[in-house]
């Protein structure tokens, strides 16, 4: 094999170099908006107004980041993201944990403990993956009001759990199909019950698909705007709604550096998740793609 690699023809080397050049060029094109955002966020507003969009900052400053993070909110205008960033964390953490756990149990029940109508239940959950967000706004608002959870962080957690269960169930169901039924049957013969099999056998081998579910749910919930603006009160708004309020304000001087810093702050968690765990996301998606 090593000899084959060493004897690669000049044409193959040229094609390989061209492929790398194309990939690098595509990466630079996709990274250009991010570069512009970062450069703009560390420039004084006077330098931005001079039209130096892609140039390095003459006077580096973190004041826009500080202002975007810690300024106060008055009326309907949001000038700082710190409190709303915390709101998003309060929404994301329990919603991801609950939807992932419920999806795992559902996937386990639908594959290893089949019951009458299980296929219909799975078809209904699968259908839920394709229901547009806008369709559930009115019935969900009435449900939250009936439960006393309207305009609260707990209400948003419930909304994201309900909407995320369909996706997490699909992930875990497809993954658990590849787990040999003989393992489950042997555990049943030894007297293990439903939850004992789940905790002792299925969950320990579910690392890849748990990673997929967590990354998927985290990015979907953190980047959500529609549910946040529809169901949150002023004090329970997620960071995406606060960012929209900040960027779209029509009063005072437009501070593009603060807007870009705020956008970077709001996007940092999802960027970090994908940079650190992106490869595990792909591995998890393919781990249950082949049975056996």
Q: Give the residue from 152, 131, 130, 132 showing the smallest Cα distance to 141.
A: 152
Q: Are the C-beta atoms of residues 107 and 169 closer than 8 Å to each other?
A: yes
Q: Give the residue from 225, 248, 197 showing the smallest Cα distance to 78.
A: 248
Q: Which fold has domain 77-287?
A: MetI-like fold (1.10.3720)
Distances (CA, A) of 288 to 69, 130, 171: 41, 22, 9
Q: Is pLDDT above 80 for 211?
A: yes
d(CA 278, CA 29): 20
| The CA-based dihedral angle spanning residues 106, 108, 111, 113, taken in that order and rounded to the nearest 10 degrees | -90
As a whole number of Å, the end-to-end CA separation of the chain is 29
d(CA 77, CA 249): 7
Q: Are the C-beta atoms of residues 96 and 156 closer than 8 Å to each other?
A: no
pLDDT in tens, 97-133: 999 999 999 999 888 887 787 788 888 888 878 888 8
d(CA 121, CA 85): 36
Stretch 13-27: mean pLDDT, rounded? 89
The pLDDT score that the predictor gives to residue 4 is: 46
- Name, in order, each residue with C-beta under 8 angstroms of 92's C-beta and a sequence gap of 6 or more: 218, 221, 222
Global pTM reads: 0.82
CATH 1.10.3720.10 domain position(s) in the chain: 77-287
DSSP code per residue over 100-113: HHHHHHHHHHHHHS
252 pLDDT band, cuts 50/70/90, is low
pLDDT in tens, 141-154: 999 999 998 889 99
Q: Is pLDDT above 80 for 76?
A: no
């Amino acid at each position: 094999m090593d000899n084959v690699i060493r004897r690669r023809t000049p044409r193959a080397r040229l094609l390989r170099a061209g492929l790398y050049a194309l990939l690098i060029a595509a990466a630079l094109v996709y990274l250009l908006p991010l570069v512009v955002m970062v450069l703009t966020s560390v420039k004084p507003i006077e330098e931005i107004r001079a039209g130096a969009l892609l140039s390095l900052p003459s006077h580096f400053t973190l004041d826009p980041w500080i202002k975007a993070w810690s300024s106060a909110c008055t009326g309907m205008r949001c000038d700082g993201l710190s409190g709303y960033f915390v709101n998003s964390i309060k929404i994301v953490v329990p919603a991801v944990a609950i939807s992932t756990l419920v999806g795992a149990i559902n996937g386990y029940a639908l594959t290893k403990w089949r019951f009458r109508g299980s296929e219909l239940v799975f078809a209904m959950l699968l259908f839920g993956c394709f229901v547009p967000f806008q369709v559930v706004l009115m019935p969900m608002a009435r449900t939250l009001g009936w439960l006393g959870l309207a305009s609260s962080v707990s209400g948003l957690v419930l909304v994201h759990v309900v909407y995320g269960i369909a996706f997490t169930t699909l992930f875990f169901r497809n993954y658990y199909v590849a787990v040999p039924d003989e393992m489950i049957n042997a555990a049943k013969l030894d007297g293990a019950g439903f939850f004992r099999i789940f905790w002792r056998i299925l969950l320990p081998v579910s690392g890849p698909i748990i990673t997929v579910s967590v990354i998927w749910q985290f990015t979907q919930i953190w980047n959500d705007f529609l549910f946040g603006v529809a169901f949150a009160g002023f004090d329970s708004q997620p960071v995406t709604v606060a960012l929209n309020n900040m960027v779209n304000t029509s009063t005072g001087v437009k501070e593009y550096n603060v807007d870009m810093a705020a956008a970077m702050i709001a996007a940092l968690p999802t960027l970090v998740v994908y940079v650190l765990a992106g490869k595990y996301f792909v591995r998890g998606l393919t781990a249950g793609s082949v049975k056996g």
